[in-house]
Every structure is written in structure tokens, then in C-alpha cells.
């Protein structure tokens, strides 16, 4: 596996609480992504980053924010968790060319009660 670590691997939290998921890479890749995976929806892009402090929204960004203060770390924050954000979250990284594939972390299973 590519050097991608997601933490925590599992989390249960209550509605209305803030939650931060962390993605750490050791590949020095430029691009980093956050996806969520839900049955029937495949993978949906939440936010992505194309460099330190350079981020952009994906197709399901409402309720989420991100930060990238250094190349190796990409944080996803749910400001006030809702039950609809119960999902499996995947971080992915990619090199600097458009034909570079994505490499995925092993995911974080988040349950919002």
C-alpha cells in the first residue's frame, strides 16, 4: 500500500459535535482528496487539495471543511456532525500529472448517533 494513514479508523460521535479526520501521507504527492462512500452512491468527492493551503470543493462539500498546512497532512472537519454524515471516509493521494492514479487509505468508518 502507498504510504497513507488515516486516523481514527473508527469513530462514533453524537449529533452536533465537531469531528476531525486526519490523513497523513509519506509519498510527497501534490494532490490529496477526501471521499465518502455510501451504498448506492459509490464514491463522492468532498474536497480536494492541489497544494499546501490550496483546496477546492467537491460534489458533496456542504457541512465539511478541510485544511492542508503541510504537504503530508490533509484534515477533514465536520463542524457539527449530522446523521447524514454517517459514512466511510477515504483519503486518497495522487501525483502531479493527470494520468497519475489515485492511491487510497484504508478508510475511517464514522457513525453519528
* Neighbour-count burial of 110, counting CB atoms closer than 10 A to its CB (0-12 exposed, 13-18 middle, 19+ buried): buried
- 55: preceding bond cis by omega (within 30 degrees): no
Q: Secondary structure of 51-66 in the HEC alphabet? A: ECCEEEECCCCCCEEE
Residue 110 near another protein by CB under 8 A? no
The rounded radius of gyration (Å) of the Cα atoms in the chain is: 13
Among 23, 25, 29, 31, binds another protein (CB under 8 A): 31
Nearer to another protein, 58 or 63 (CB): 58
Nearer to another protein, 45 or 75 (CB): 45
SS3 83: helix
Among 45, 71, 75, 111, binds another protein (CB under 8 A): 45
Cell numbers 501521507: residue: 25
Mark residues 61-100: x for contact with another protein by CB under 8 A, - for none.
Answer: -----------------------------x-x-x---xx-
- Name the site residues for another protein (rule: CB under 8 A): 1, 4, 31, 33, 35, 40-45, 48, 50, 58, 90, 92, 94, 98-99, 101-107
Amino acid at each position: 500500500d502507498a504510504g497513507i494513514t488515516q486516523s481514527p479508523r473508527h469513530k462514533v460521535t453524537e449529533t452536533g459535535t465537531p469531528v476531525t479526520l486526519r490523513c497523513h501521507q509519506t509519498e510527497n504527492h501534490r494532490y490529496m482528496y477526501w471521499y465518502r462512500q455510501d451504498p448506492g452512491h459509490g464514491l463522492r468527492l468532498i474536497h480536494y487539495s492541489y497544494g499546501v493551503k490550496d483546496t477546492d470543493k467537491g460534489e458533496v462539500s456542504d457541512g465539511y471543511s478541510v485544511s492542508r498546512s503541510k504537504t503530508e497532512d490533509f484534515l477533514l472537519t465536520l463542524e457539527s456532525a449530522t446523521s447524514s454524515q454517517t459514512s466511510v471516509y477515504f483519503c486518497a493521494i495522487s501525483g502531479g500529472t493527470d494520468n497519475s492514479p489515485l492511491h487510497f487509505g484504508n478508510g475511517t468508518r464514522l457513525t453519528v448517533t
